[in-house]
Amino acid sequence: MMTPDLSSLDALPTPALLLDETRMMRNIARLAEHAERLGVSLRPHAKTAKSVEAIRRLTGGVPGPITVSTLAEAEVFHDAGHDDILYAVGIAPQKLGRVQSLRARGCDLVVILDSEAQAQAVAQADVPALIEIDSDGHRGGLRPDDPALIRIGRILHDSGCLRGVMTHAGESYSVRGPSSHAEFAEQERKAVVAAAESLRDAGLPCPVVSVGSTPTAHAARDLTGVTELRAGVYMFFDLVMAGIDVCTVDDIALSVLTTVIGHQPTKGWTMIDAGWMALSRDRGTAAQDVDQGYGLVCDENGRVLSDLIVSSANQEHGIVSLRPGADGPMPDLPVGTRLRILPNHACATAAQHERYNVLPQDDGAMQTWPRFGGW
Amino acid sequence: MMTPDLSSLDALPTPALLLDETRMMRNIARLAEHAERLGVSLRPHAKTAKSVEAIRRLTGGVPGPITVSTLAEAEVFHDAGHDDILYAVGIAPQKLGRVQSLRARGCDLVVILDSEAQAQAVAQADVPALIEIDSDGHRGGLRPDDPALIRIGRILHDSGCLRGVMTHAGESYSVRGPSSHAEFAEQERKAVVAAAESLRDAGLPCPVVSVGSTPTAHAARDLTGVTELRAGVYMFFDLVMAGIDVCTVDDIALSVLTTVIGHQPTKGWTMIDAGWMALSRDRGTAAQDVDQGYGLVCDENGRVLSDLIVSSANQEHGIVSLRPGADGPMPDLPVGTRLRILPNHACATAAQHERYNVLPQDDGAMQTWPRFGGW
């Protein structure tokens, strides 16, 4: 393997979002292979990347099935050729006009819901839907034995809008290690399969049985009865995922390039130009075994300086210091030194930036992939 | 006063950032009058609004002196006619090329620094600078009695780059009430005036003596020796500022319009389509007397529902519930109901959005003011 030429980094104004495509492609391949072994199709979530170029790599080089978190994502990705999209946030009736417009343009956009009121609005608008199932008490959805399930299924089926069921084990983020995540995966599977069987027992079709979260998707051992798997942050990974052993720190494909702008030597502080505007306010590792502050510090080439974290963040200032309990001394990082910060939560950090600066591979040049936001 | 027509709100897709211009203009006038009484000029901070239209109102309808937190802000606001700009984040030597370009285009852009290494780089680039003074141990800056002050002053003066001194009492955010903030204001004043006198005693000129933070700017009683006052978030205010009595909740000019998308009745949860992507991850009220979660809930017309907060936030989901200890019951908020969320931290919440939807005043129409981001 050739050593990539990183000299183009020198010209990049900081703070800037860096993407290591080699790591990203390795992360994408890992879950694709696991889904194939489990015999389910993969419907990756586009909310982390929000970039046409990045998502194309997530779906095998061609526009494939995806999950989205906003209608803006559905619109942008449909324009880029994706025509099989799940909008996986409970539908508000006011949004059905935009959904219908996209469907009229040839996009098979499917929504989710968990109430009779939503089902009636969706049936009236002739929009296909999955019923959201609550597998872990995390957020929305019906418990699989909720009698409303059949009532909702019937409202949808009567207008030809019933596509199936889905769940998301958001609570799996709060436990550590593959065997704990496998338990959540089995809980996801059991909940949606039970809901699908209830619907079928009532004479209602349930072709789609969809599960997923990044921890459970990687840990699932058996997905009998499930048809598709969703996950998003795995393409980049982050410190939260490393903290619960879904990946290692070396798998994290995203970082923020920053420059040292000052010091308070008596306090052991090194100031950088990446504050919460560049890193996000996400403190997802605060409740984990190892609190990484606002991010873990690496040198300019990406080598982890494992005792250094961003301990505090203002809008455009970060304070780098030794983590509590670490042996000193603080390394010498003169004004102008460049560092990279690994993010707690890739979705949140990426959202603070307008583009990915894609690190050169082998002897290639640095690329820029635009990101979008909004709703 | 006529009742404004809010029907245009109905067509606005959610989540969306709303700006109440009447409140904003009242907030702007309040500090302008206070600065005039104190006999100092005002150099408002543009980092909160990041909008040409909003900042024009902050500087009296014409492009006036401003403070910025990024060179992107300096570039955008100079293009909009502002030619007197302070970049109030410690300068990295790599950024001096962009600073010189702006200065060559006629912008009097001034930087800040607190080390000899930065002073040498700045002197070599012929860029004027203020020396940052640490008045409260919050972040960067030299203590006024640090012998490096005179050395830095001399490096700058020898190349004609010494403009003065500045400080920012970031710690004033951690105390409550005008008399506590007035103590921090006096601490800011004493620190910079002492630094200015040290420089003058050493034969070095110090024309600019700059102080400011939103709490201290409003509470300062005497600014003898100070030439200019900086503050930013006061134009919008937020729950953090209301929580330390710099403003009331009724002064908050910014909110996020959101739609109810689901319920978990047994848990008392109402799900909305404003998650941390729309509200930010800022939890600035968590350490205050009243923790407002991810924001305080109002009805669609802005009437505060004082027992309701956004208790939890995922990327595109917020969970609204009664605040701990509140008497129930949870109000009936059917799917499709619109609410407004007041932000913890206006700078962070505004940064998540691409535009302000400016509420109609009297019988006018709703306006849209674009925002920008990046560095």
pLDDT value of position A208: 98
CB contact under 8 A, A315 and B375: no
CB contact under 8 A, A260 and B336: no
For residue B13, list chain A residues with Cβ-Cβ distance below 8 A.
Answer: 71, 94-95, 98, 375
CB contact under 8 A, A13 and B98: yes
Q: A121 and A265 share a domain?
A: no
- Confirm or reject contact between A280 and chain B (CB < 8 A): yes
A99 CA: distance to closest CA in chain B (Å): 12
Domain-located, residue B59: yes
State how far the Cα of B351 lies from the Cα of B370, in Å rounded to an integer.
12
Please tell me which residue of chain B has the smallest CA distance to A90. B261
**Contact A295/A342 with Cβ under 8 angstroms?**
yes
For residue B91, list chain A residues with Cβ-Cβ distance below 8 A.
Answer: 261
Residue A196's SS3 state is helix
Nearest CB to B259; choose among A92, A262, A317: A92
- Confirm or reject contact between B75 and chain A (CB < 8 A): no
Residues 6+ apart with CB under 8 A from A86: A43, A65, A66, A67, A68, A109, A110, A112, A130, A166, A210, A230
Q: B107 and B86 share a domain?
A: yes
**Contact A245/A180 with Cβ under 8 angstroms?**
no
Closest by CA to B288, choosing from B176, B159, B154, is B176
Domain-located, residue A77: yes
pLDDT value of position B328: 81
pLDDT over 90 at A4, yes or no: no
Residue B102's SS3 state is helix
Q: Which of the two residues, B3 and A215, has the higher pLDDT score?
A: A215
Q: A220 and A272 share a domain?
A: no
For residue A373, list chain B residues with Cβ-Cβ distance below 8 A.
Answer: 277, 352, 354
Q: Tell me the residues of chain B between 89 and 118 that have a Cβ less than 8 Å away from chain A.
A: 89-95, 98, 113-115, 117-118
**Contact B90/B112 with Cβ under 8 angstroms?**
yes
pLDDT value of position A3: 55
pLDDT value of position B1: 43
For residue B90, list chain A residues with Cβ-Cβ distance below 8 A.
Answer: 261-262, 271, 273, 317, 335
Domain-located, residue B188: yes
pLDDT over 80 at A116, yes or no: yes
Q: B44 and B140 share a domain?
A: yes
pLDDT over 90 at A64, yes or no: yes
pLDDT value of position B370: 98
Which residue of A14, A315, A319 to mutate against B (max B Cβ within 10 Å)? A315
- Helix (H) or strand (E) holding A148, with range, is helix A148-158
**Number of folded domains that form chain B:** 2
pLDDT value of position B9: 84
* Residue that the structure tokens 């082998």 belong to: A362
Nearest CB to B69; choose among A263, A315, A348: A315
CB contact under 8 A, B92 and A351: no
Cβ-based neighbour number of residue A322 at 10 Å: 17
Domain-located, residue A240: no
DSSP secondary structure code for residue A45 in this structure: B
Please tell me which residue of chain B has the smallest CA distance to A233. B315
pLDDT value of position A363: 73
B350 CA: distance to closest CA in chain A (Å): 11
Q: B182 and B314 share a domain?
A: no
Q: B173 and B307 share a domain?
A: no
* Residue that the structure tokens 């019933």 belong to: A162
For residue B357, list chain A residues with Cβ-Cβ distance below 8 A.
Answer: none
Q: Tell me the residues of chain B between 128 and 187 that have a Cβ less than 8 Å away from chain A.
A: 134, 139-140, 170
- Confirm or reject contact between B213 and chain A (CB < 8 A): no
CB contact under 8 A, A316 and B348: no
Average pLDDT estimate for A162-184: 97
Q: How many residues does chain A have?
A: 375
Q: Which domain holds residue A106?
A: 22-235
pLDDT value of position B16: 98
CB contact under 8 A, A91 and B277: no
pLDDT over 80 at A92, yes or no: yes
**Contact B169/B213 with Cβ under 8 angstroms?**
yes
Nearest CB to A115; choose among B90, B115, B335: B335
Provide the CATH number for the domain around residue B132.
Answer: 3.20.20.10
A375 CA: distance to closest CA in chain B (Å): 7
Name the burial class of residue A250, with classes exposed (0-12), middle (13-18) and buried (19+) by CB atoms within 10 angstroms of its CB: exposed
Nearest CB to A375; choose among B13, B117, B319: B13
Last residue of a domain, one of B174, B206, B234: B234
Q: B179 and B101 share a domain?
A: yes
pLDDT digits over A279-297, tens only? 999 999 999 999 999 999 9
Bin A337: left if φ > 0, else alpha if -120 < ψ < 50, else beta.
Answer: beta
Residue environment code for B318-328, b if the CB has 16+ CB neighbours within 10 A, otherwise e: bbbbbbeeeee
Closest by CA to B271, choosing from B236, B227, B314, is B314
Residues 6+ apart with CB under 8 A from A248: A242
For chain B, the helix, strand and coil percentages under 3-state DSSP, each to the nearest 5: 35, 25, 45
Last residue of a domain, one of A200, A235, A270: A235
Q: A282 and A221 share a domain?
A: no
CB contact under 8 A, A262 and B140: yes
For residue A282, list chain B residues with Cβ-Cβ distance below 8 A.
Answer: 276, 281
Which runs of E-coded beta strand occur in chain A? 16-19, 41-42, 66-68, 84-87, 108-113, 129-132, 162-166, 208-211, 228-229, 254-264, 269-272, 296-299, 304-313, 318-322, 338-342, 355-358, 367-370
Helices A148-158 & A116-125, crossing angle to 10 degrees?
Answer: 10
Give A1's pLDDT tier (boundaries 50, 70, 90): very low
pLDDT > 70 fraction of chain A, expressed in percent and rounded? 98
Residue type, A65: P
Average pLDDT estimate for A201-230: 98
Provide the CATH number for the domain around residue A276.
Answer: 2.40.37.20
Q: Which long-range contacts (CB under 8 A, 24 or more apart) does A304-308 make?
A: A304/A249, A304/A342, A305/A331, A305/A339
Structure tokens of B211?
A: 């102080």
Please tell me which residue of chain B has the smallest CA distance to A15. B375
Q: A285 and A229 share a domain?
A: no
Which residue of A14, A18, A139, A352 to mutate against B (max B Cβ within 10 Å)? A139
- Confirm or reject contact between B268 and chain A (CB < 8 A): no
Interface predicted TM-score (ipTM) of this complex, two decimals? 0.96
Nearest CB to B281; choose among A94, A260, A348: A348
Closest by CA to B112, choosing from B41, B75, B164, B157, is B164
Structural Rg of chain A based on CA atoms: 22
pLDDT over 90 at A6, yes or no: no
Question: Can you name the residues that pair with A256 across neighbouring β-strands?
Answer: A17, A341
Q: B178 and B265 share a domain?
A: no
User: Per-10-residue mean pLDDT for chain B, 375 residues long?
Assistant: 65 96 98 97 98 95 96 98 98 98 98 98 98 95 97 98 97 96 97 98 98 97 98 98 98 98 96 98 97 98 96 98 92 97 98 96 88 97
Task: Verify cis geometry, omega within 30 degrees of 0, for the bond prior to B207.
Answer: no
Residue A335's SS3 state is coil
- Confirm or reject contact between A375 and chain B (CB < 8 A): yes
Nearest CB to B262; choose among A71, A140, A336: A140
Domain-located, residue A375: no
CB contact under 8 A, A271 and B373: no
State how far the Cα of A30 lies from the Cα of B110, in Å rounded to an integer.
50
Q: A255 and A197 share a domain?
A: no
A114 CA: distance to closest CA in chain B (Å): 7
For residue B335, list chain A residues with Cβ-Cβ distance below 8 A.
Answer: 90, 92-93, 115, 117-118
pLDDT > 90 fraction of chain A, expressed in percent and rounded? 94
Dihedral angle of Cα B172, B178, B184, B185, to the nearest 10 degrees:
120
Q: A109 and A221 share a domain?
A: yes
Last residue of a domain, one of A177, A208, A235: A235
Give A52's pLDDT tier (boundaries 50, 70, 90): very high
Please tell me which residue of chain A has the smallest CA distance to B346. A315
- Confirm or reject contact between A262 and chain B (CB < 8 A): yes
B34 CA: distance to closest CA in chain A (Å): 26
Which residue of B14, B17, B73, B94 to mutate against A (max A Cβ within 10 Å)? B94
Average pLDDT, chain A: 96
- Confirm or reject contact between A265 and chain B (CB < 8 A): no
